[in-house]
Amino acid sequence: MLNLIWLFLLVSGILVAAWHGNIEVVTSAALQAARDAVEVCLNLVGIMALWLGIMKIAESGGLVNALARLLRPLMVWLFPSVPPDHPAMGAIILNLSANVLGLGNAATPFGMKAMQHLDQINPRPGVASEAMCTFLAMNTSCITLLPATIIGVRASFNSANPTEIVGPCILATASAMVVGMSVDYWFRRRNRRRRR
């Protein structure tokens, strides 16, 4: 469906430009957008490499295990069907750590690994378990304390103050996480009552 929407927008833009006799504007805009995309990606490579390296050092240095022990009571409450020492817990914590730092691209591999581990202990493989749904809600609405990727994008476009979005970002993501986790908790309780 999304492909159809993009196709419609693209074709309608070309047709409107042709109707007004400005078809060269479409070509120059497409080429400029491609150049800008490459430039933004190259600027982000350094930022992503730095934070991925820090995450790897934290994982190798035992910080992730320490964080896992610290967060164990909360994780056991959020994921009662997952054994506390299961590898899924480590992957979930790595994913959440990357999301808290605003590194969505770095969080993706950890999220995929967490889902694979959660599917291994799923009583009905192929069907999302409660733990998988909770993790998905937490992953997509995770609070971001340091939006590193957004700051990097703003810096690459020469923003006067690339870090001014930190406060609004914390407020918006905290609100999203409270709502997401509340809805997840409500659905879990509702499903448990139905099964009785």
Cβ-proximal residues to 153 (8 Å cutoff; 6+ apart), any chain: 40, 43, 44
Say if residue 10's pLDDT is above 80: yes
Report the C-alpha gap between 51 and 33 in whole angstroms.
Answer: 27
What is the average pLDDT value for the chain, to the nearest integer? 83
Report the C-alpha gap between 164 and 171 in whole angstroms.
Answer: 13
Say if residue 176's pLDDT is above 90: yes
Say if residue 178's pLDDT is above 90: yes
Q: Where are the domains of the chain?
A: 46-195
Task: Give the pLDDT score at 146.
Answer: 79
Task: Give the pLDDT score at 42.
Answer: 79
Helical ranges in the chain per DSSP H? 2-19, 23-60, 63-78, 87-100, 104-120, 130-140, 148-156, 166-195
Per residue in 144-163, pLDDT (tens digit) is: 887 877 887 888 788 889 88
Say if residue 172's pLDDT is above 90: yes
Mean pLDDT in residue range 102-114: 80
DSSP string, 149-174: HHHHHHHHTT-S-TTTTHHHHHHHHH
Angle among Cα 137, 48, 3 to the nearest 5 degrees reads 55
Lowest mean pLDDT among 9-13, 23-27, 120-124: 23-27
Mean pLDDT in residue range 89-110: 79
Task: Please tell me which residue, 81 or 70, carries the higher pLDDT value.
Answer: 81
Share of the chain above pLDDT 90, in %: 12
Are 94 and 64 contacting, i.e. CB atoms less than 8 angstroms apart? yes
* Lookup result for tokens 């590898």: 87
DSSP type of residue 83: -
Task: Give the pLDDT score at 68.
Answer: 67
Tell me, yes or no, if the pTM score tops 0.95.
no
Task: Give the pLDDT score at 5.
Answer: 92
